[in-house]
Structure 1
């Protein structure tokens, strides 16, 4: 796909991958729209990247997505790229009986139902364009269990499956479906895990380099993009899944043993 003169909507665009996508795609000559839940952070982005258009919206709220569509489709009828990037990742002990049922599935609402609803809401508009694309940001954790963050891992595996099915269903349309399988990176989402036992900070990929690879993949029509260690994880998930799980189980082992 072409990398300039697009109108691109990025969810979760105030930090991490979303912010990197916004700044780099803006520099390539695209119209950039980002969403976020925190108005103060959106205001900061307006100062840092004055060319970016911002909307306060929560992907876990179906009503908010409907309202976002009304606003965006009216102001940007040429929208042709949707990047589902918003996400949340938490360390959760399933032994902890105090975890409320509604709170337990918060990541499902954000990481899985959010992208599904965004696609369903914006797909008719995307189909109207001469060239369009959807990118769903999953994770290397979609290729393997990650016991210390069980709900996050389940959502990313689910999103990966959904993305594959979406690609099949849209094969006769002008909408290309991409997946960014992101390895661990130095972003706010992962920073909360840095002090946890079993984490190797040296394996964290620079988010700028990761997004450079993602954008290059878009330009080459690579429908599945595996930056850095994600490609190794893909191979290992096939050849030695037990070894991967054993290594992943070392992260937060003390937390999982003591919590609850």
Structure 2
């Protein structure tokens, strides 16, 4: 993915990692469209950052995805990058007889069906572009599980494997598939995570991601240094140690 000269749609970018990257991509000369559920947040972003475009979208709602796709493509026919940023993270206790199913279903709808539906809505358009990118967003927890968030872990592992598979299918086409793999970052993804000293500062994360993309625009995975402890645990042969270390404290890990 080139660092500049793109038209980029980022649903789920009204806060946190999505917004931080949207602002940096806009500053680098890209046309950026931020998507989100709340109209007030979208208005505030557009007012504070002239030149950034917005569209209302609920990535847990199939009809909303289709409507937003029609709007984005009508207003931005040069769109060539889709970043499937939207996601939720919830703690669950599967030992409780009825305390987890609704939460698990909500996570799967947003984190798995959401990206699948987004890609389906844009893929024909992207294939018609001379060069296009689908950027998925997974997590270090796609590779090492956090005890408190089983469905979140599973949802990100699913998107990792989806990314791997789509990269194979789109080989030889104009579409590149890039997987962004965040570690724990100081955002509001989980309660208390914005103040978690063990999580990576948001600006530090976003700056490192931009530097990595600029340095290696052909990289299939974008891994900041902090996520490699989780990402490569199995390959290093210390998976059991990493699982134990990750779950020995109450810290968050995206």
Native 8 Å contact 2:229 2:242 kept in 1: no
TM-superposed deviation, 1:204:
1.2
CA distance in 2, matches of 1:125, 1:110: 23
Q: In the alignment, what sits opposite 2:93?
A: 93
Q: In the alignment, what sits opposite 2:23?
A: 23
Q: How does 1:5-154 map to 2 (within 5 A)?
A: 5-99=5-99, 101-154=101-154
Q: In the alignment, what sits opposite 1:203?
A: 198
Cα distance 1:127–1:194, how it changes in 2: closer, same or farther (>3 A)?
Answer: closer
TM-superposed deviation, 1:229:
1.5
Q: How many residues align?
A: 248
1:234 to 231, 236, 243: 231
2:247 maps to 1:224: no
What is the RMSD of the two structures over their aligned residues, measured on CA atoms? 1.8
TM-score, length-scaled by structure 1 = 0.89
Native 8 Å contact 1:13 1:19 kept in 2: yes
Q: In the alignment, what sits opposite 2:246?
A: 248
CA distance in 2, matches of 1:50, 1:134: 25
- Please list every run of 5 or more consecutive structure 2 residues that lacks an aligned counterpart in the other structure: none
CA distance in 1, matches of 2:231, 2:169: 24
CA distance in 2, matches of 1:204, 1:97: 32
TM-score, length-scaled by structure 2 = 0.91
CA distance in 2, matches of 1:103, 1:38: 21
